C-alpha cells in the first residue's frame, strides 16, 4: 500500500516525502502539471499530475492508497476566492476521492488561524475552544475541517486534523527567507515591546505529529494543536535569528495601534475580495497566538524534540548552503 501526499513540491509536503522515503515508504505525490517535480522524482516517488480544484484530474489518484496526508493549501493568494477554491473545495475533492477508493486514513493539515488569537496572554488555546476563524484564510481552513469531521462522523473514513502554528525549518519558502534577510540587514520593525507570544512549529516536529496521527488509533476523529514545547516572545524570535546570523539587531519599535490599523485595513481589503500579504502579516504581528500541545502529548505521545534556536540554526544553515542568504 502506498501513501499519498498533497502539497509537494511545497514546503511541508516535500519535507514529509523526504522523511517517508527515509523510512522506506512507497509514496505518491499529487503535483500540479506546471510544478517542478525534479526533486520528488530524485526521491523515487510516483508522480500524479492533477489539480485539487479540478475533480476530473483526480480520478484514480487514491487507488491502492492507505493514508492520505493532505498538506496542500494556499496562505497568501492574490484574491480571496482562491482561499475557498483551494483550501475548501480542493479538500472536498480529494476527500471524496479518498472515500470512493477506500482509503483507510485521511490526515488533514489545518492551521492555527482556525482558532484565531488568544483572548488572554496567559491562556493557551486548546482543542475544545470554540473555533474563531481569523479572516478568510482561517474560515476556509475551518470549513475544510468541518467536511473532514463530517466524513468521520458518517463513518466514511478515519480522519485526523493537525493544527500547526507558525512554521519554520529547512526548505522554507521565499517569504520566510526574505524575513531572515531583513533581520540580517540589522533593522526591523516591532510592534509594541515585542513581548506578545507566538507558538512556533518546527517542520520536523509537525511531521512527527503527522506520523503519530497515522499510527495511533486514538487519533481517529480528533483534532490536535501541534507546536514546539512552549510559546516564544516575538522579540526572542527576532533576536535568536539575529544571533545565529551574527548581526546586531536594532529593533525599531512602533506603536501597537499601527498594527491594529493594519488589522482594520486588512479587513477592508479582504472585504472587497483582494489580499495584501504585508498588511495581513503586520496585523498579526501584535497578537498573541499560542496553543497547548498537551492533548497531542498525552494521546499521541508527541514530543517536540527541536526547539527554537536549534530549529532556526538548521533553517539558516539550509539557506546558506543553497545561497539564499
Q: Is 172 helix (H, G, I), strand (E, B) or coil?
A: coil
Residues 311 and 169: beta-carbon distance below 8 Å? yes
Residues 21 and 176: beta-carbon distance below 8 Å? no
Instruction: Note the pLDDT of residue 78.
Output: 93
Q: Walk me through the domains of the chain, giving residue ranges and CATH numbers.
A: 2-171+199-227+297-305 (3.40.50.720)
**CA-wise closest residue to 146 among 98, 119, 100, 108:** 108
Helices and strands (H and E) in the chain: how many: 12, 13
Nearest-angstrom CA–CA distance, 142 and 79: 18
Q: Give the tens place of pLDDT for each residue, 189-234.
A: 899 889 999 999 999 999 999 999 999 999 999 999 999 999 999 9
State which residues of the chain have pLDDT below 70.
Answer: none
Nearest-angstrom CA–CA distance, 85 and 73: 10
Instruction: Note the pLDDT of residue 251.
Output: 84
Nearest-angstrom CA–CA distance, 127 and 137: 19
Q: Which DSSP state fits 86?
A: I
Amino acid at each position: 500500500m502506498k501513501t499519498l501526499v498533497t502539497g509537494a513540491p511545497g514546503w511541508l509536503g516535500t519535507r514529509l516525502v523526504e522523511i517517508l522515503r527515509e523510512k522506506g515508504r512507497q509514496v505518491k505525490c499529487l503535483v500540479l502539471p506546471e510544478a517542478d517535480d525534479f526533486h520528488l522524482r530524485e526521491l523515487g516517488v510516483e508522480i500524479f499530475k492533477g489539480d485539487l480544484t479540478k475533480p476530473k484530474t483526480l480520478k484514480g489518484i487514491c487507488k491502492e492508497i492507505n493514508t492520505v496526508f493532505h498538506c496542500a493549501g494556499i496562505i497568501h493568494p492574490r484574491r480571496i476566492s482562491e482561499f475557498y477554491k483551494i483550501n475548501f473545495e480542493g479538500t472536498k475533492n480529494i476527500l471524496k476521492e479518498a472515500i470512493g477508493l477506500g482509503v483507510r486514513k485521511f490526515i488533514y493539515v489545518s492551521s492555527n488561524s482556525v482558532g484565531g488569537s488568544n483572548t488572554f496572554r496567559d491562556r493557551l488555546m486548546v482543542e475544545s475552544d470554540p473555533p474563531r476563524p481569523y479572516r478568510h484564510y482561517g474560515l476556509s481552513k475551518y470549513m475544510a475541517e468541518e467536511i473532514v469531521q463530517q466524513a468521520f462522523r458518517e463513518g466514511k473514513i478515519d480522519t485526523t486534523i493537525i493544527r500547526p502554528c507558525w512554521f519554520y525549518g529547512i526548505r522554507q519558502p521565499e517569504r520566510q527567507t526574505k524575513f531572515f534577510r531583513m533581520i540580517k540587514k540589522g533593522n526591523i520593525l516591532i510592534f509594541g515591546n515585542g513581548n506578545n507570544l507566538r507558538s512556533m512549529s518546527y517542520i520536523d516536529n509537525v511531521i512527527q505529529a503527522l506520523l503519530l496521527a497515522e499510527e495511533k488509533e486514538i487519533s481517529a476523529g480528533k483534532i490536535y494543536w501541534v507546536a514546539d514545547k512552549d510559546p516564544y516572545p516575538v522579540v526572542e524570535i527576532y533576536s535568536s535569528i539575529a544571533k545565529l546570523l551574527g548581526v546586531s539587531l536594532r529593533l525599531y519599535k512602533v506603536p501597537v495601534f499601527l498594527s491594529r490599523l493594519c488589522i482594520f485595513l486588512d479587513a477592508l481589503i479582504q472585504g472587497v475580495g483582494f489580499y495584501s500579504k504585508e498588511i495581513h502579516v503586520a496585523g498579526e504581528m501584535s497578537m498573541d497566538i499560542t496553543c497547548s500541545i498537551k492533548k497531542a502529548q498525552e494521546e499521541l505521545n508527541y514530543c517536540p524534540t527541536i526547539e527554537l534556536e536549534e530549529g532556526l540554526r538548521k533553517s539558516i544553515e539550509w539557506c546558506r548552503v543553497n545561497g539564499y542568504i
